[in-house]
Amino acid sequence: MSTATHPATAPARPGSRAVPEPIPFGRVVGVEMRKTFDTRAGTWLLASIGIVAVLATAAVMLWAPDDALTFETFGSAVGTPMAVLLPVVSILLVTGEWSQRSGLTTFTLVPRRGRTIAAKAVVTTIIGVGAMALALVVALGGAYLGPALRGTEPVIDLTVGQVGTLVLAQVLGMFVGFMLGVVTRSSAVALVAYFVFWGLLPTFSQLLYATQDWYRDVVGWVDFGWAHGALYEGGLSATEWAQLGVTGTVWLLLPTLAGLWLVMRAEIS
């Protein structure tokens, strides 16, 4: 009797198993984008942004004086609530793997955590730019419809350069939420830190500005909110761009890099 093993049933030799292709980065981005809309919190948050934008436009059309029915006025009315709410979307997107305990699944399917975090950064940018595009379209509609209803001429008083700085301001605001998400990896903690970042710290800075002469000379170099706020005015000088670069590095870039270092080493459960 032959003892030879049939080739079809022979155990596979070590190293003969086919290595699956890595998941394309575009697909990872698509999954992370879908996560933004799949949860109730994300869905209602994005829906509320759209609702507030429409209500803000209607409020300006109803109660603003004729000379205030400008593109800039409508843009401010629509963009302000977006600037407050959209970073929360970024926080929930980044912290989902830890707050919803889906990290084990996510990082098993995509073992290289950097690809997942990079995809979240891309989604953050897409949402920030897309939201500002929507805000500008709504504001432009209000800038034409409002004066038309009152029999006045529309005033389009935002230049292309100002629109560009507004978009940059929105994206940087989104990345504040991204930074807090990777640093804390907790939705609750990141949300509290977010309101401290934009509420308590600017108040403390304004107090120093009002009471300390020395601080008035350096506020633009140490207060990210101050430097970031200049983007909404447009027409930044070379000094203001430098101040944005310095404060952005200290308050945004370096903490993000530290948070990414922690993310790569954090235990997933």
Q: Is 1 within the bounds of a domain?
A: no
Query: In the predicted model, is pLDDT for residue 16 greater than 60?
Result: no
How many structural domains are present in the chain? 1
Residue 61 in domain: yes
In a domain, 223, yes or no: yes
Contact indicator for 266, 185 with CB cutoff of 8 Å: yes
Nearest to 141 by CA among 80, 64, 75: 75
pLDDT tens for 43-93 read 787 788 888 888 888 888 888 888 888 888 888 888 888 888 889 989 988
pLDDT of residue 162: 87
pLDDT at 21 over 80: no
Mean pLDDT of the chain: 84
pTM equals 0.84
- Asked, for residue 101, whether it belongs to a domain, the answer is yes
Domain assignment of residue 9, yes or no: no
221-242 tens-digit pLDDT: 999 999 999 998 878 899 999 9
For residue 18, tell me if it sits in a domain.
no
In the predicted structure, residue 1 carries a pLDDT above the cut 50: no
Average pLDDT over residues 3-29: 63
Per residue in 170-200, pLDDT (tens digit) is: 999 999 999 999 999 888 999 999 999 998 9
Q: Is residue 136 part of a domain?
A: yes
Report the share of the chain in percent with pLDDT over 90: 33
Does 15 map to a domain? no
Range of the domain at 164: 23-265
